Amino acid sequence: MARATARHPRLPWSTRLDKFQRRFAPYIFVSPFFLLFAVFGLFPIVFSLYLSLQVWNPVQGLGTMRYVGLENYVWLMDDPWFWRSIQNTLWIAVASGVPQHVIAIPLAFALSRGIRRFRHPLTAAYFLPYITSAVAVALVFLTIFGTQFGILNQALIYLANAPWSAWAFGGMADSLPVNWLGRAPNIKPAISILVIWQYFGFNVVLYAAGLATIPKDYYEAAEIDGASARQSFFHITLPLLRPMIFFAVTLTIIGNLQLFDQPFILTDGTGGTSQAGMTVVMYLYRTGFNWLEMGTAAAIAWLLVLLIGILTLIHFRFFGRSGLETRD
């Protein structure tokens, strides 16, 4: 009698569909991103890579590109302004990046576990700077940082002289009023202050959402075991918050190295005295749009990608294991 059963029996259609969707689900789920990316993301990336090997004045139209190989990159290696912009960017990235998180984590913790009332309005207050448009921020902060009449200097002068605070702040009276935006050494701190102001609330919200993933009973169990608040912060909160911290820090690394709006605003597009406030993206923009050297600008962009990539890779190497782990 012939064996009627084939090696692969024909399963009913619904079962085949089921197996299909189980197996291919992840691919189907990520495909919208990659389809769109192929159109809107890949082309610009390839275009700018190609562009970095050309000399091109954009005003003359697309057909006027001239191939020069790696000449743009070589030229940039010798360019003092390029290296200065890298230096500035790194300085500002660290000076504004670290406080963002050091402030935000305890703040998010305080907001979610430390207080009961006013959670909403306080979080909203910290988040507002993130919402404010760059134009409005520009106007307001240029005036805050003004030398003679700026609020910041007025406040510092007051603190240096008022009886109740002079003991702490009196020492700086001689260097007041600070010329925040005109003197080279002061520009970077001024920019960093603006960046911190704008982004720390964003991190607070991120961490607040992350804290939601930590069940309350963990804390209760810890209390029963006699742990103090500080101990539960360091032994429960921080470890469980790691994926969020990893994510937020990655964003800060990638984002702060690409700062453009804030330095542009505070230096009125010039980069400040001695280019002290010029970040890499600002230099990129000026090279491409002001000085019409699009090829060089593209090369700057890719050197920046290289820098960001290296730093992110280091970050992933050291913290990725725990940062990317899943719940179980």
Partner 1 sequence: MKKLLALALASLLTASVALAQTTLTVGLFEPLNEHLERVMDQFVAENPGVTLEIRTLGYSDHHDALVTYLATGSGAPDVVAIEIGYIARFVAEGGLRDLSAAPFDADQYEDLFVEYAWSQGRTADGRQIALPTDIGPGVMYYRRDHLATVGTTIEAVTASIDAYIEYGRALKQHGVYLIASAASAADALIRSDIPAGSGIYFDADGRPLLNSERFLAAARVAKTIRDEGLDAQIGSWSNEWYEAFRQGTTATELSGAWLGGHLQTWMAPDTAGLWGASEIPDGRLLSWGGSFYGIPNQTPAAKLDLAWELVKFLTTRPDIQLEAFRTINAFPAMPVTYDDPMFEEGLDFLAGQPARLLFASVAERIPGVLTFPGDMVAQEIWNSALSEVLNEGRDVQAALDEAQALVERRIRR
Partner 2 sequence: MRAAVIADTRSVSDQGAASWLGRGLLYLLLLALALLTLFPFYWMFVLATHFQSDIYSAPPPMWFGQALERNYAALLARLPFLRNIWNSFYIAGMATLTTMFFASLAGFAFAMYEFRFKRLLFGIVVGSLMVPPALGIIPYYLIIQWLGWLDTPRAIWFPAMASAFGIFLMRQYIASSMPRDLMDAGRIDGASEFRIYWSIALPIIRPGLATLGLVTFIGQWNNFLIPLVVLSSRPSFTVPVALRTMQGLIQTDWGAVLVGTALAVLPLLLIFTVASRQVIEGLVAGSIKG
| Residues in contact with partner 1 by the rule CB under 8 A | 55, 57-62, 64, 75, 78-81, 142-143, 146-149, 179, 181-184, 268-271, 273-275, 286, 289-294, 296
State which residue, 4 or 26, has the beta carbon closest to partner 2: 26
State which residue, 148 or 326, has the beta carbon closest to partner 1: 148
| Contacts (Cβ under 8 Å, ≥6 apart) of 304 | 257, 258, 280, 281, 284
Buried/exposed code over 204-232 (b: 16+ C-beta within 10 A; e: otherwise): bbbbbebbeebeeeebeebeeeebeeeeb
State which residue, 131 or 184, has the beta carbon closest to partner 1: 184
Pairing of strands 66-67, 54-55: antiparallel
Closest separation in Å from C-beta 153 to partner 1: 11
State which residue, 22 or 317, has the beta carbon closest to partner 2: 22
Closest separation in Å from C-beta 211 to partner 1: 41
When CB distances are held under 5 to 8 angstroms depending on the partner's kind, the choice from partner 1, partner 2, none that residue 174 binds is none
Binding letters toward partner 2, positions 241-280, x by CB under 8 A: --xx-xx--xx--x---x-x--------------------
Helix 242-256 / helix 80-109 crossing angle, nearest 10 deg: 150
Q: How far apart are CA 201 and CA 297, in angstroms?
A: 32
Give residues 61-100 in contact with partner 2 (rule: CB under 8 A). none
| β-pair partners for 55 | 66
Amino acid letter, 93: A
Binding letters toward partner 2, positions 171-200, x by CB under 8 A: --------------------------x---
Count CA atoms closer than 13 A to 287's CA, side-chain side.
25
Nearest to 261 by CA among 237, 241, 277, 238: 277
Closest separation in Å from C-beta 314 to partner 2: 13
When CB distances are held under 5 to 8 angstroms depending on the partner's kind, the choice from partner 1, partner 2, none that residue 81 binds is partner 1
When CB distances are held under 5 to 8 angstroms depending on the partner's kind, the choice from partner 1, partner 2, none that residue 226 binds is none
State which residue, 184 or 229, has the beta carbon closest to partner 1: 184
Among 75, 127, 169, 319, binds partner 2 (CB under 8 A): 127
Buried/exposed code over 29-39 (b: 16+ C-beta within 10 A; e: otherwise): eeeeeeeeeee
Window contacting partner 2 (CB under 8 A); options: 47-55, 170-178, 185-193, 266-274: 47-55
Contact present, 101 and 315 (Cβ < 8 Å): no
Among 37, 67, 83, 318, binds partner 2 (CB under 8 A): 37
Name the token pair of 65: 């590109």
Name the token pair of 176: 């007041």
